[in-house]
Amino acid sequence: MTSSPRPPVAEADPPSAAWELLLPAAGAPARARGRSLQAALRDAVRSGRLAPGTRLPSSRDLAGDLGVSRGLITEAYEQLAAEGYLRSTRGSGTWVGEAVRAAPRGARDLAPGRPTGARVDFVAGSPDLSLFPRAAWAAAQRDALSELPHPTLGYPDPRGLPQLRTALAGLLARRRGVVVDPERIIVCSGVTQAVTLLGFVLHARGQHAIGVEDPGSPQYEELFATAGPRAVRLPMDAHGLAMEALAASGVRTVVTTPSHHFPSGIAYTAGRRARLLDWARAVDGLVVEDDYDGDFRYDRAPVGALQGLDPEHVAYTGSVSKSLAPGLRLGWLVVPDGLTDELVARKRYMDLGNPALDQAALARFVARGDYDRHLRRCQRAYKERRDTLVAALEEHLPGTEVSGIAAGLHAIATLPGRYGPHAALLERFAASGVAVRPLSHYGAAPGEALSLVLGYAHLAPARIAEGVRLLAYAAQELDHARVQSTRR
Ligand SMILES: Cc1ncc(COP(=O)(O)O)c(C=O)c1O
């Protein structure tokens, strides 16, 4: 045992404390008893149940209480003293070391998007997870598990299981007009990984800067910072990415959301789509098309993907994050021929491919028509929610302008200018229990009137109406307070 000049700091605990914690281990089969006692004692110290400074009973007393040999207890004390969990001095006994830090009891959950405590949470980005088709997904998983041949549980093709790539090729061609050979699809864990892979590969090819839309999704800049290239923010106009700024920037790759720009909600016009492709051909460049919510359009059939117009100059990416659930972490990247090998190599080094069972389940889910069925159900629900939002804004906040196309999971609402300073308004909204972000949060220059990004798809119609009523009440209160103060 180690000796220490420091005396124990706590009074000796009654032997029963250690006795109770170690009792189950003392009942282990004789051969495993010594190790079990050591593990239980270590666990009690690490979890904090035996706090630093706690004095342990003498080996003779504890052995008697537990009904085990004294040698096992002496051995356990010695082992844990050697590991630093216990201290002892001749004459003073054995106690829990003061330097031992109790391990946290359980893992914390730092996931974004967990309930914020707001009465109504309009923060955009999530589909309605309560619509997740649990029964159909469970059936697809069960069948995948029982039917998969054993070798499929080995390391997968890093591009993805062939049956999933085949199913996705059919789905993307039919729903989004993507021109796709299954050999050029890389299954990945979402748009996030697809864009990261592209960042690494293009950086290795000497592209040190990549264009991103401004305003736009803040995540691209962070992803590229990890992968190497610098993100160059490029302004938008009413038709899409501003072409003069793009041409002047010198970048050869640009990430875009042409079907439904995030966050402004506009769709690129046909003219701007054509000019974007002309640019890509002229600079021998690449347009990355993030089709994050392209399935949902409420006023007409969705416009096909840009990729269909020029598959050699567009890398197309999407995922199930907006259609099924972001927690599945499943997405796809459809790439031009010349980039395929490098991207597949990068995907292999990154993670050796996505989980085979999840891929097999999604392949079945798509092939059986369950994916289409689910999208139809969501489409109906989300259209109703958007209509509810627009009607509630008209009723409670007259003069509010809803902009962007009727699509996706969010809308932009620009409030009438009379409601006063933006910061004060946003404070009032938060105080009244509504979580909401201004358009400027995503990089847009604040206009005279306040524009809000309102995610509606995850909210039941009654919650949407309640949320708008709360916004209206908060705005009117502020207006009223302002009028009163100017009269004084
Ligand atoms: C513009 C945009 N693209 C893509 C995604 C989804 O990324 P992933 O497919 O990795 O979940 C998001 C998520 O919020 C997004 O805002």
CA angle 414, 417, 419 (to 5 degrees): 100
42: in domain: yes
Residue 113 belongs to a domain: no
Tell the residue number behind the tokens 């039941």, with chain if given: 460
Q: What is the mean pLDDT of the segment spanning 8-36?
A: 75
- Cβ of 190 closer than 6 Å to ligand 1, yes or no, is yes
The residue whose CA has the least distance to atom 7 of ligand 1 is 191
Give the tens place of pLDDT for each residue, 449-473. 999 999 999 999 999 999 999 999 9
Residue 101 pLDDT exceeds 80: no
* Averaged pLDDT for residues 155-170: 97
pLDDT at 103: 66
- Residue 394 structure tokens: 């008209």
Name the percent of the chain lying above pLDDT 70.
95
Provide mean pLDDT across the span 154-169: 97
Span 28-36, average pLDDT: 93
Q: How many domains does the chain have?
A: 3
308 and 390 fall within a common domain = no
Q: Both 186 and 256 in a single domain? A: yes
- Show the domain range for 445: 120-125+374-487
Whether 217 lines ligand 1, by a CB cut-off of 6 Å, is yes
Answer whether 126 contacts ligand 1 (Cβ < 6 A). Answer: no
Residue 320 CA, ligand 1 centroid: distance in Å: 10
Name the residue at shortest CA distance from atom 3 of ligand 1.
292
The pLDDT tens digits of the residues spanning 49-62 come to 888 889 999 999 99
Looking at residue 23, its pLDDT comes to: 87
Residues 408 and 425 in one domain: yes
Atom nearest to 192 CA in ligand 1: 10
What is the distance in A from the centroid of ligand 1 to the CA of 192?
7
256 lines ligand 1 (CB under 6 A): no
State the average pLDDT over residues 255-261: 97
> Does 52 contact ligand 1 (Cβ within 6 A)?
no
Nearest CA to ligand 1 atom 16: 217
pLDDT (tens digit, 9 = 90+) per residue, 391-402? 999 999 999 999
Ligand 1 atom 14, closest CA: 125
Pocket test of ligand 1: the residue of 214, 254, 256, 262 to mutate, having most ligand atoms within 8 Å of its CB, is 262
C-alpha separations of 74 from 45, 60, 131 in Å: 17, 9, 59
Q: Is residue 111 part of a domain?
A: no
Among 221, 290, 293, 458, which is best to mutate for testing ligand 1, by the most ligand atoms less than 8 A from CB?
A: 290
Same structural domain for residues 225 and 262? yes
Whether residues 393 and 353 share a domain: the answer is no
Question: Does the structure show a pLDDT above 50 at 8?
Answer: no
Domain match, 359 and 392 both: no
Q: Which atom of ligand 1 is nearest to the CA of 194?
A: 10
> What pLDDT score was predicted for residue 140?
98
418 and 459 fall within a common domain: yes
Q: What is the band of 11 on the pLDDT scale with cuts at 50, 70, 90?
A: very low
Cβ 262 under 6 angstroms from ligand 1: yes
pLDDT at 100 over 80: no
Ligand 1 neighbour 192 (Cβ under 6 A) = yes
Is the distance from the beta carbon of residue 125 to the nearest atom of ligand 1 less than 6 Å?
Answer: yes
Are 180 and 327 in a shared domain?
yes
* Structure-derived torsion over alpha carbons of residues 461, 465, 466, 469, reported in degrees to the nearest 10: 170
Q: Domain end: 368, 393, 414, which one?
A: 368
pLDDT score of 256 more than 50: yes
Output the CA 191–ligand 1 centroid distance in Å: 6
**pLDDT tens by residue, 203-247:** 999 999 999 999 999 889 999 999 999 999 999 999 999 999 999
User: HEC states along 73-96?
Assistant: HHHHHHHHHHHCCEEEECCCEEEE
Q: 175 and 299: one domain?
A: yes
How far, in Å, from the CA of 353 to the mean position of ligand 1? 20
Residue-level pLDDT at 104: 64
Distance between CA atoms of 292 and 125, rounded to whole angstroms? 10
Q: Do 279 and 411 fall into the same domain?
A: no
Whether 112 maps to a domain, the answer reads: no
pLDDT surpassing 60 at residue 32: yes
Please work out whether the CB of residue 404 comes within 6 Å of at least one atom of ligand 1.
Answer: no
Asked if residue 263 has a cis previous peptide bond (ω within 30° of 0), the answer is: yes
Q: How far is CA 232 from CA 20, 229, 252, 311, 396, in A?
A: 63, 9, 11, 24, 40
HSE (side-chain half, CA atoms, 13 Å) at 319:
22
Position 9 scores a pLDDT of: 44
Nearest residue CA, atom 12 of ligand 1?
292
- Do 434 and 288 sit in the same domain of this protein? no
Instruction: Tell me the pLDDT of the chain averaged across its residues.
Output: 92
Residue 435, C-beta contacts closer than 8 angstroms, at least 6 positions apart: 116, 118, 120, 121, 122, 123
Band of pLDDT at residue 102, cut at 50, 70 and 90: low
pLDDT beyond 80 at 12: no
Is pLDDT at 4 greater than 50 in this prediction? no
CA distances from 2 to 8, 80, 101 (A): 14, 10, 19
Tell me which of 319, 352, 368 is where a domain ends: 368
Does residue 408 form part of some domain?
A: yes
Whether the CB-CB separation of 319 and 191 falls below 8 Å is answered with yes
Average pLDDT (81-85) is 92
| 115 compared with 406, residue with greater pLDDT | 406
User: Is any atom of ligand 1 closer than 6 Å to the C-beta of 95?
Assistant: no
Query: Are 417 and 448 in contact, with CB atoms under 8 Å apart?
Result: yes
- Using pLDDT thresholds of 50, 70 and 90, give the confidence band for residue 3: very low
CATH of the domain at 322: 3.40.640.10
Q: Is the pLDDT of residue 420 over 90?
A: no
290 CB within 6 A, ligand 1? yes
pLDDT surpassing 70 at residue 261:
yes
Task: Please report which helix (H) or strand (E) contains residue 43, including its range.
Answer: helix 30-46
Interatomic CA distance for residues 410 and 413, integer angstroms: 10
Q: Residue 47: its pLDDT value, please?
A: 82
Is 132 part of a structural domain of the chain?
A: no
141 in a structural domain: no
- Residue that finishes a domain, picked among 315, 345, 368: 368
pLDDT, residue 115, reads 67
Q: 379 with 363, same domain? A: no
Q: Is residue 262 part of a domain?
A: yes
376/24: higher pLDDT:
376
Q: Residue 72 maps to which CATH number?
A: 1.10.10.10
Helix, strand, coil percentages in the chain from 3-state DSSP, rounded to 5: 50, 15, 35
**pLDDT bracket for residue 337 (50, 70, 90):** very high
CA distance 171 to 403: 30
Q: State which of 189, 220, 224, 319 you would mutate to test the pocket of ligand 1, scoring each by most atoms of that ligand within 8 A of its C-beta.
A: 319
